[in-house]
Structure 1
Amino acid sequence: MNNFRKILFGALVSLLLSGSCLLLVFHYTRTENVFADVLAVSFRTLALSLVLVVASWLVDAWRLRVLASAMGRKIRFWDAFKITVMGSFMAGVTPFDTGGEPLKVYYLHREGLSIGESTAVVALSAFLHATSRLLLWVFVPVLMLLTGLKWQLNPVVGRTLSVGVIVYLFFLGLLVTVTIWPEFAEIVATFICRQRVFRRLIPQTAVDKVLEKVRISARDFRDGVRRVKARGAYAFLASVLSLAYWLLVVSVPVFLLRGLGSDLPYLQVFSVTMTVYLVMAYVPTPGASGGAEAGSALFFSSLLPARVLGVFVFLWRVVTYYVTLAVGGSVVALETISWSLGKIRSEKS
């Protein structure tokens, strides 16, 4: 019940922040009749955007299944899909997207993977997710140079981007460290447990159990990483799927802008979108709410007229975030109900 309340609270906070920031965007862009502007967008545009979002979920699920297969474990595609959308929902209602990975580890463990194997799958998935995002973003200036496209950054956008990149690289560095050197987690856990304040709060027997679990998980994680390295085809396919995921995600705003009458080149929208996602990665609010809306408006403000900007930010957020919350939340609810009913039946028998 407490977990349910935390999830519900996170969802309400994220929706409140998102809605409040959208109202501010509408105010500053002088968007007077949002619904009329939204209804003016063709059904085909909205449907295609939703298809791209669903396709990104399918690709993400495929990557999860490929990495599990690299561990020598088989999970059904439907189960991988459910884990993916549930993880996206939990990431969307927790600060820094921190709720997604633990949920994926839990459900992968329920599918027969060890805790270490589940952690390895999720960590490698996150590593490929982050590196492919950075790789595509770095590749953008090269493409723009070759095509002659230009994007002038105002001082505010430039400073925001600089801070976002620094924070992103810091956390990516930590992720790389844990992936290459799994024992790093054990070293950190041991250091924390040896602190005087920590030892006063938790009995030594409990500390020993925690450290033992960390050691076992680190060992299983190391073995999992080695299995993936030994099966290069799986690692290559997972990398390709990571790039495909981002190409699908980036295509959503392109089609939305086409539906709103904008003729911005694909590469220009691609570059700005990747920049927005790079900065959004470590916005500390649930699902990057508030920061996502403000960042989208800020980075696209120099490219779009005010009458288009507000509606575009609204549609982009609805299609990519609100729909994810609705679908992922529904799957989480159904899985929870199914688990509860199964537990009741087992207790009766």
Structure 2
Amino acid sequence: MSRGLWLLLGGLLAALLIPLLLGGTGLWRLVQGFPANLLLAMLGIILVCWNLNALRLRLLLPGFRLSQKDALGIVMATEFAICATPGGAGGPLTLMALLMRRGVSAAQGTATYAVDQLTDLLVFACALLGILVYALSHALSPHLAWLLGVSAGLLVGVFVLLFLLGRFHRQMFRLNGRLLQRLGVSTRRRLQYARKVMRFRNALRQSLSLPRPLLLGVFLLSVAHWGLRYSVLYLTLRGLGSELSWAWTFLVQMLALSAGQASLLPGGAGGAELASAALLAPLVGKSTSGAAILIWRAVTYYFYLIAGAPVFLHLAGRPLLRRLVRYRQS
């Protein structure tokens, strides 16, 4: 099997072993006692989230007639690719490939993905600001204060980096050109690369210049999506009898999924579980945290793979799947 498939299988194994080892003998008792109707409700939340993202995709591409059904398929296939490839690198590639089949240029597809990610970052910043206000009226333990500080530091660092890229993008283009020249890249390829970068920049400007009510709708859909998706861990803990606040479950998920992506394993498998275990165990105990992580990841990761795989194969086909599982991180 290819290296990418081995990485996926290894990540899935690690994702299962970490909560099992953490939960110990009390884990299965907690999992078996988890309310089945609550589990079905959380799976329903994921379906609603997919539809919200599909509507968001349609708003970002007003010049292209995408039905809700087509957009939903693209979203599910893209989410599957994010979960199945190292660092989620297959997500934007899948989105661009599927949009190109519907007449959207590669530059416009990339710009759409970039605006989508920028909207998500803005939602996280607003949510973190709200949590900071909430924390002012509540006594914080050192553990929760550390979570809040790390989250704020991460977001500030990301926004500073994005500001610098936007402010000095011309200098970055020139620096990349000189670097490619020193690496021996031919003039023809450098010009092709420059044209692609300029097309992306123009498409990004076009996307950001969409009517403000439309962009506000995209933002509100993103708020609804992340508000629902990040409620899964909170509902899981409630189903297990824990009373941890929604705000702190938001922070745990934000940091855990960031650590998972940084691990460059498919879907953050293993890394997200390890980070969430370290963050949750001091708050709710080892057995409860192990059971919560197992159920939470089953809904927000395994379900994405199981439900998204047939949609991906139907829309993208096996050739693109083989390219994704063979993807090697440089």
* Equivalent position amino acid for 1:105 in 2: M
Query: C-alpha separation between the residues in 2 aligned to 1:279 and 1:169?
Result: 16
Contact conserved, 1:137 with 1:274, CA < 8 A, in 2? no
Task: Determine helix, strand or coil for the equivalent of 1:326.
Answer: helix
Which structure 2 residue ranges, 5 or more long, are not aligned?
Answer: 321-330
1:67-122 CA-partner distances (Å, limit 9, x unpaired) = 112xx233122222122122222222333323212221222222212222212211
* Equivalent position amino acid for 1:215 in 2: M
Query: C-alpha separation between the residues in 1 aligned to 2:259 and 2:4?
Result: 24
What residue is the counterpart of 1:324 in the other structure? 304
Higher relative contact order (CA 8 A, sep 6+): 2
What residue is the counterpart of 1:63 in the other structure? 56
Contact conserved, 1:189 with 1:211, CA < 8 A, in 2? no
Give the TM-score of the pair, scaled to structure 2: 0.84
Distance 1:14 1:183, change over 3 A: farther
What residue is the counterpart of 2:76 in the other structure? 85
* Equivalent position amino acid for 2:244 in 1: L
Query: C-alpha separation between the residues in 1 aligned to 2:206 and 2:168?
Result: 11
Give the TM-score of the pair, scaled to structure 1: 0.80
Pick the aligned partner of 2:142 from 149, 153, 160.
153
1:4-30 CA-partner distances (Å, limit 9, x unpaired) = 94653442232133234334423xxxx
* Equivalent position amino acid for 2:286 in 1: A
What residue is the counterpart of 1:293 in the other structure? 273
Distance 1:95 1:138, change over 3 A: farther
Distance 1:88 1:111, change over 3 A: same
Contact conserved, 2:16 with 2:294, CA < 8 A, in 1? no
Q: Which has the higher mean CA deviation after the structures are superposed, 211-220 or 318-327?
A: 211-220
The 5-angstrom pairing of residues 266-285 of structure 1 reads 266-277=246-257, 279-280=259-260, 282-285=262-265
Distance 1:252 1:265, change over 3 A: same
The 5-angstrom pairing of residues 88-99 of structure 1 reads 88-99=79-90
The 5-angstrom pairing of residues 4-83 of structure 1 reads 5=2, 7-26=4-23, 31-32=24-25, 34-69=27-62, 72-83=63-74
What residue is the counterpart of 1:347 in the other structure? none
1:241 aligns with 2:218: no
Deviation at 1:164, TM superposition (A): 6.2
Distance 1:141 1:209, change over 3 A: closer
Distance 1:87 1:58, change over 3 A: same
Contact conserved, 1:66 with 1:234, CA < 8 A, in 2? yes
Which structure 1 residue ranges, 5 or more long, are not aligned?
Answer: 341-349
Query: C-alpha separation between the residues in 2 aligned to 1:186 and 1:214?
Result: 8
Q: Which has the higher mean CA deviation after the structures are superposed, 103-112 or 182-191?
A: 182-191
What residue is the counterpart of 1:211 in the other structure? 194
1:153-211 CA-partner distances (Å, limit 9, x unpaired) = 349x93x87666545544444445556787577445424322x2x21xx4332333232
What residue is the counterpart of 2:117 in the other structure? 126
1:134-155 CA-partner distances (Å, limit 9, x unpaired) = 3212321212334x3x442349
Pick the aligned partner of 2:104 from 110, 113, 117.
113
Task: Determine helix, strand or coil for the equivalent of 2:61.
Answer: helix
Query: C-alpha separation between the residues in 1 aligned to 2:305 and 2:175?
Result: 34
What residue is the counterpart of 1:302 in the other structure? 282
* Equivalent position amino acid for 2:54 in 1: A
* Equivalent position amino acid for 1:63 in 2: R
Contact conserved, 2:256 with 2:271, CA < 8 A, in 1? no
Distance 1:325 1:173, change over 3 A: farther
Contact conserved, 1:182 with 1:221, CA < 8 A, in 2? no
Identity %: 24
Q: Which has the higher mean CA deviation after the structures are superposed, 278-287 or 234-243?
A: 278-287
* Equivalent position amino acid for 1:77 in 2: Q
Contact conserved, 2:256 with 2:272, CA < 8 A, in 1? yes
Count how many residue pairs are aligned between Structure 1 and Structure 2: 320
* Equivalent position amino acid for 2:134 in 1: L
Deviation at 1:43, TM superposition (A): 0.9
Query: C-alpha separation between the residues in 2 aligned to 1:293 and 1:218?
Result: 36
Q: Which has the higher mean CA deviation after the structures are superposed, 178-187 or 284-293?
A: 178-187
Pick the aligned partner of 1:220 from 203, 211, 215.
203
